[in-house]
Amino acid sequence: MSASIDKSVIARLTKNGEKFEILVDPDKALEFKHGKEIALEDLVATPDVYHDQGKGEKVSPDVLGKVFGGTDIKKISEIIIKEGEVQLTTEQRHKMMEDLRKKVSYIIAKEGVNPQTKIPHPQDRVLRAMDEAKIKLTLGRRAEEQVEEVIKDIQRIIPVSFEKVTVEIKIPAQYAPQASGIVHRFGKPIKESWLNDGSYSCQMELSGGIKAELIDKLSSSTHGQTVVKDL
């Protein structure tokens, strides 16, 4: 098992009058509980099932077989996590929620724009809007799954949209090999070509926020000699 025992928490399930506890990674267990596929070795810290983990009281194979229909630890662990409760300390819950808030706000700041100005909102402005709108995120659900809901709730405070734009990018020959690599880190071009003079040209579909970041990185890499044009 590769999940850290030091960072693990208890997942607990009461079934058929018996209490079952296992040690799990808190982040991965919540993600798994909400549908993400995760390998058992990344979920569970030990291969043991307990009646009371704190007292070290392990569940006998007979009881596991009677309640779960077998002794397969993988299947039993999955049932305990999905049907039971993952116990988090206040500190763990607070940290996980803060990390989730930052990730959601980062996605909105990076991929969204103010539809009136076509300019992205800074991440700290998005965070303030989330606070003002009293946004409540759900631990265990991926940040990407909650972005749309958050945008709907903060629209009354700041205008946000995930508008897509298609751009044409032209990079001079002397910068093309390195700068074309930057382009590919931002997505897959719709079409691209290397011209006879060694220069590079492509078309890409991007969100407004990513477009601004891409232009900035290309400009820095090519000393301002990249041409980016909206199509």
| Domain C-terminal end among 63, 86, 109 | 86
Beta-carbon contacts of 54 under 8 Å, excluding residues fewer than 6 positions away, are none
Distance CA(6)–CA(187), nearest Å, equals 38
Q: Do both 67 and 101 map to the same domain?
A: no
List all residues 6 or more positions away from 159 whose beta carbon is below 8 Å from its beta carbon: 114, 115, 116
Give residue 208's pLDDT.
65
Secondary structure of the chain: what % helix, strand, coil (to 5)? Answer: 45, 20, 35
Question: Same domain, yes or no, for 82 and 95?
Answer: no
Q: What is the pLDDT of residue 118?
A: 80
Q: What is the pLDDT of residues 54-85, one digit of tens each?
A: 898 999 999 999 999 999 999 999 999 999 99
Residue 212 CA to residue 206 CA, distance in Å, equals: 10
What is the domain-level CATH number for residue 194? Answer: 3.30.70.240
The per-residue pLDDT for range 14-65, each reduced to its tens digit, is 999 999 999 999 888 888 887 788 888 888 888 899 999 989 899 999 999 9
- Which range marks the domain in which residue 214 is found? 164-230
Tokens of 89: 């300390």
Residue with tokens 């049932």: 79
Q: Which amino acid is at 149?
A: E
| Average pLDDT value for residue range 90-106 | 90
**What confidence score (pLDDT) does residue 46 get?**
86
Are the CB atoms for 29 and 12 separated by under 8 Å? no
Q: Do 60 and 114 fall within a single domain?
A: no
SS3 69: coil
Q: How many CB atoms lie within 10 A of CB 205?
A: 15
In angstroms, rounded to a whole number, what is the distance separating the alpha carbons of residues 192 and 201?
Answer: 6
Higher pLDDT pick, 3 / 197: 197
Q: Are residues 67 and 94 in the same domain?
A: no
Structurally, the chain folds into a number of domains equal to 3
Tell which of 102, 121, 154 closes a domain. Answer: 154
**Distance, CA of 70 to CA of 59 (rounded, Å):** 13
Q: For residue 7, what pLDDT band results from cuts at 50, 70 and 90? A: confident
User: In the listed set 36, 56, 86, which residue is the last one of a domain according to the structure?
Assistant: 86
Same-domain check for residues 20 and 80: yes
Q: Is residue 81 located within the same domain as residue 105? A: no
Q: Is 203 exposed, middle or buried (0-12, 13-18, 19+ CB in 10 A)?
A: middle
Do 15 and 82 belong to one domain?
A: yes
Which tokens is 62 given?
Answer: 């007979």
Domain contains 182: yes
List all residues 6 or more positions away from 224 whose beta carbon is below 8 Å from its beta carbon. none
Q: Report d(CA 102, CA 128) in Å as an integer.
A: 11
CATH number of 94's domain: 1.10.10.900
Shared domain check, 82 and 16: yes
Q: What is the largest CA-CA distance in the chain?
A: 77
Can you tell me the mean pLDDT for 173-187?
90
